[in-house]
Amino acid sequence: MCALDSEDRACKTLDPAWFDEDAEPTAVDRAKSACARCPVRWRCLCRALEGDEYGVWGGLTRTEREALRQPPRMLVALTTPRNRRAAVVAA
Ligand code: SF4
């Protein structure tokens, strides 16, 4: 469960165990469901992306947030020197 102190957060009265990313999948699903309707979801997710938080924040587990941080594969492919040259020639 996130540390946002917003009075509006959907997790305010929920069981913190649901937000443990190693909890039962049904618990994590409940947490994600709460996040989906949370009015401060994007602020929560941004806070989590700034740090290395554990648990479900902004509707995503730490593993899912790590995946968000990875650059898209196509972008990586186009930014390698060899492919960048090929892209310029093709343009
Ligand atoms: S997005 Fe999820 S974890 Fe973050 S404040 Fe809302 S309910 Fe809590």
Q: Give the whole-number percent of the chain exceeding pLDDT 90.
A: 62
Global pTM value: 0.76
Residue 75 pLDDT class (50, 70, 90 cuts): low
Long-range contacts made by residues 20-29, C-beta under 8 angstroms, separation at least 24?
20/55, 20/56, 21/54, 21/55, 21/56, 21/61, 21/62, 21/63, 28/56, 28/61
Residue 77, pLDDT > 70, answer: no
Q: To test ligand 1's pocket by mutation, which of 35, 46, 50, 56 has the most ligand atoms within 8 angstroms of CB?
A: 35
How much of the chain exceeds pLDDT 70, in percent?
A: 77
Ligand 1 pocket: which of 44, 47, 65 to mutate (most atoms within 8 A of CB): 44
Q: Give the tens place of pLDDT for each residue, 14-58.
A: 999 999 999 999 999 999 999 999 999 999 999 999 988 899 999
Q: At what angle do helices 41-50 and 62-69 cross, to 10 degrees?
A: 80
Q: Ligand 1 centroid vs 90 CA: distance in angstroms?
A: 46
